[in-house]
Chains A and B, each alone.
Chain A
Amino acid sequence: MKKYQALFTIRFSSGLQYRAAALGGIATQFAWGFMELLAFLAFYKANPGAYPMEFSQTVSYIWLQQAFLALFMTWFYEQDIFETITSGAVAYELVRPIDLYNRWFCHSAANRLARAVLRCFPILLVAFIVPEPLRMSLPPDLGQFGLFMISVPLSLGVVVAFTMLVYISVFFTLSPIGVRIVAALLADFLAGGIVPLPFFPDVVRGVVEILPFAAMQNMPLRIYSGHISGAAAVRGLFLQAFWFVILVVLGRLWMKLALRRAVVQGG
């Protein structure tokens, strides 16, 4: 375990170095969050009863999404992992007594966490002091907050396990661009990154809500505001755990196959 801890630490601390990037990110996420909220506000004003989530729930959803973007974004990838594969430097990874899947998983999770830690506090702070109705509210009760706290790491796990599949695909395609763009856009949309899933038409929603993408940001963000609560929330956590296990198992099997027929690029 200690080696993963060490890997985590070195990645986490190097992720903390990038202060200017974090400031830029915070500014973007404020702007984006406000814009989205103002658009929703306009819709809600037109017909408050016509939407599947209360406005305050939507507000919390969007602020949390912006604050923890780094944990949940499906379109963020580790450039060095792609480079390791395409340049053949993966050879050095493979002469270490360490499982490559775990190593990259750890690397990726550490970086997301470092980014989230740098960005979340200023955004949350502002979200709690802006005037109503754009102000973020506290979760309905402590139990719900507890469920939220379990759901967040599970989401991170599902997101990272999903991105691992994109990394592994590069062993076969040698260019990350195609798979990455398609996967990123599709996953972001289906995860509720653009519009929360409850806003999807009913027919589509039935299917979308059981996909692995629904086990990403959709769960914690809706659990926080109480939009999913009680037994439904617990079911949600199980869905997340289920997809986490499935994606990890798939990723490991695929990785094994990739390494069996791996061609280490460049001499």
Chain B
Amino acid sequence: MIELKGISKSFRVAKREAGLKEAVKALFARQHETVHALQDVSFTIGDGEMVGYIGPNGAGKSTTIKIMCGILHPDSGGCVINGRVPWRDRVAHVRDIGVVFGQRSQLWWDVPVADSFALLKDIYKVSDADYRRSLSELTELLDLKELLKTPARSLSLGQRMRCELAASLIHDPKILFLDEPTIGLDAVSKIAVRQFIKKLNQERGTTVILTTHDMQDIEALTERIILIGKGRILLDGSLQELKRRSASQKRITFEYNGPEPSLPAGTKVIERGPHRLVIELEKEWLSVSEAIAQISAQVDVVDISVTGMSAEEMVAQLYREYAL
């Protein structure tokens, strides 16, 4: 159980204008600016939930994660995770959590991955039996067999991320924090990582908190999303709710032969090229079939595809709506 109540955190950042003159001025009088990274952030996450924590860059996602991990002290507000205050009881708290920071590595660079795992085993005081069981399970799920003997520096990014996931789960944590776990991965690796996370959540009942910019991660994994922007929680609900909020427009792409058709009323051109037309429908005005009928009456249509708004676009729309 994770409970955040009114968490605020600000940083003081030294600032100056560009240029030599300003640099000299800053030697004598430093200008500081207070950046409010988090303001009154509250939410509750139950055991076994899988939550997507999203927001634009600099919204405060990582800061929240770091507070929940016990790394940062908030300025005010309370946070209780499994009955403990993370930053006050850090060592006991982190025993129960696993963390993957997608942009950093926790594996020792020069030694084989298996050595890193063995060291983590000792750091977390995992018993030999538990370690063997956990390792063989993770090896199978993440297909690590060939990688264990390789030094971390010679792994590809996708291979490394699989090893990072395993490294953060050796001690069988109750909560897993994933800070951009799919960043920079190719499509195949992304899918492998997602499948693994899903399985982990279903089989071990691990609570998963996921930050990402990849909306496909969110669509594939989480029921619930928390949207943060400029340090405030803007939305806490299901993906469906998000879909309902953003007026879901339909988009039709035509490939055709012949002269440019005139547009039916109630549509908007998104893209117009030679023999290609993308339009968006305002739902109440016109049905999809009517629009298709009107266009195909004018030109020889070769191909048609109809798409709804992707989660990506919905979020982009939300960001605009909240002026983030």
**Which residues does A use to contact B, with CB under 8 Å?**
2-3, 5-7, 10, 14, 17, 87-89, 91-92, 94-99, 260-264, 266-267
List residues of chain B with CB within 8 A of the CB of A14: 110-111
When chains A and B are docked, how far (Å) is the Cα of A92 from the Cα of B108?
12
When chains A and B are docked, how far (Å) is the Cα of A121 from the Cα of B20?
54
Whether A92 contacts B90 in the complex (CB less than 8 A), given A2-B122, A6-B118, A6-B122, comes out as no
Smallest beta-carbon distance B166→chain A, Å: 15
When chains A and B are docked, how far (Å) is the Cα of A6 from the Cα of B124?
11
> Does B115 sit within 8 A of A, measured CB to CB?
yes
* Stretch in B41-49, B95-103, B136-144, B195-203 with 4+ CB within 8 Å of A: B95-103
When chains A and B are docked, how far (Å) is the Cα of A221 from the Cα of B122?
37
When chains A and B are docked, how far (Å) is the Cα of A263 from the Cα of B90?
17
> Does B52 sit within 8 A of A, measured CB to CB?
no
> Does B119 sit within 8 A of A, measured CB to CB?
yes
Closest-by-CB residue of B relative to A2 is B122
When chains A and B are docked, how far (Å) is the Cα of A91 from the Cα of B99?
10
When chains A and B are docked, how far (Å) is the Cα of A252 from the Cα of B99?
25
Q: A91 to B66, Cβ gap below 8 A?
A: yes
Q: Identify A10's interface contact among B90, B104, B115, CB under 8 A.
A: B115
| Cβ proximity bits B61-93 to A, threshold 8 Å, 1 near / 0 not | 010001001111100000000000000001110
Q: B125 to A3, Cβ gap below 8 A?
A: yes
List residues of chain A with CB within 8 A of the CB of B122: 2-3, 5-7
When chains A and B are docked, how far (Å) is the Cα of A248 from the Cα of B1?
37
> Does B94 sit within 8 A of A, measured CB to CB?
yes
Smallest beta-carbon distance A212→chain B, Å: 29
List residues of chain A with CB within 8 A of the CB of B106: 92
When chains A and B are docked, how far (Å) is the Cα of A91 from the Cα of B168?
13
When chains A and B are docked, how far (Å) is the Cα of A65 from the Cα of B278?
79
Select the residue from A92, A99, A260 with max chain B CB neighbours within 10 A.
A92
Known: A95-B99, A96-B123, A99-B91. 14 other contacts (CB 8 A): A2-B125, A3-B122, A6-B119, A7-B122, A7-B123, A14-B110, A87-B104, A89-B104, A91-B66, A91-B101, A97-B91, A97-B92, A97-B94, A267-B62
Question: Can you spell out 19 A-B residue pairs with CB atoms less than 8 angstroms apart?
Answer: A6-B118, A6-B119, A6-B122, A6-B123, A7-B122, A10-B108, A14-B110, A91-B66, A94-B71, A95-B69, A95-B71, A95-B97, A95-B99, A96-B94, A97-B91, A262-B72, A263-B11, A264-B72, A267-B62
Whether A267 contacts B103 in the complex (CB less than 8 A), given A10-B111, A97-B124, A262-B72, comes out as yes
When chains A and B are docked, how far (Å) is the Cα of A264 from the Cα of B9?
13
Q: A264 to B71, Cβ gap below 8 A?
A: yes
Smallest beta-carbon distance A16→chain B, Å: 12
Smallest beta-carbon distance B323→chain A, Å: 22
Whether A95 contacts B94 in the complex (CB less than 8 A), given A3-B123, A6-B122, comes out as yes
Smallest beta-carbon distance A88→chain B, Å: 7
Q: How many pairs of A and B residues are in contact by the CB < 8 Å rule?
A: 69
When chains A and B are docked, how far (Å) is the Cα of A94 from the Cα of B68?
12
List residues of chain B with CB within 8 A of the CB of A95: 69-71, 94, 97, 99
**Which residues does B use to contact A, with CB under 8 Å?**
11, 57, 62, 66, 69-73, 90-92, 94-95, 97, 99, 101, 103-106, 108, 110-111, 115, 118-119, 122-125
List residues of chain A with CB within 8 A of the CB of B97: 95
Closest-by-CB residue of B relative to A17 is B110
Closest 8 CB pairs of A and B: A6-B122, A94-B71, A97-B95, A95-B99, A3-B123, A92-B106, A97-B91, A3-B122
Closest-by-CB residue of A relative to B57 is A267
Q: A91 to B104, Cβ gap below 8 A?
A: yes
Q: A10 to B119, Cβ gap below 8 A?
A: yes
List residues of chain B with CB within 8 A of the CB of A88: 104
When chains A and B are docked, how far (Å) is the Cα of A88 from the Cα of B99?
15
Closest-by-CB residue of A relative to B120 is A96
Closest-by-CB residue of A relative to B104 is A89
When chains A and B are docked, how far (Å) is the Cα of A14 from the Cα of B123?
18
Smallest beta-carbon distance A57→chain B, Å: 42
Smallest beta-carbon distance A198→chain B, Å: 43
When chains A and B are docked, how far (Å) is the Cα of A10 from the Cα of B97?
24
Select the residue from B92, B99, B123 with max chain A CB neighbours within 10 A.
B123
List residues of chain B with CB within 8 A of the CB of A260: 73
List residues of chain B with CB within 8 A of the CB of A266: 103
List residues of chain A with CB within 8 A of the CB of B95: 97
Q: A262 to B71, Cβ gap below 8 A?
A: yes
Smallest beta-carbon distance A100→chain B, Å: 10
List residues of chain A with CB within 8 A of the CB of B104: 87-89, 91-92
Whether A94 contacts B125 in the complex (CB less than 8 A), given A10-B115, A262-B72, A264-B72, comes out as no
Closest-by-CB residue of B relative to A88 is B104
Smallest beta-carbon distance B176→chain A, Å: 11
Closest-by-CB residue of A relative to B99 is A95
Closest-by-CB residue of B relative to A13 is B111
Smallest beta-carbon distance B85→chain A, Å: 14
List residues of chain A with CB within 8 A of the CB of B99: 92, 95
List residues of chain A with CB within 8 A of the CB of B70: 94-95
Smallest beta-carbon distance B84→chain A, Å: 12
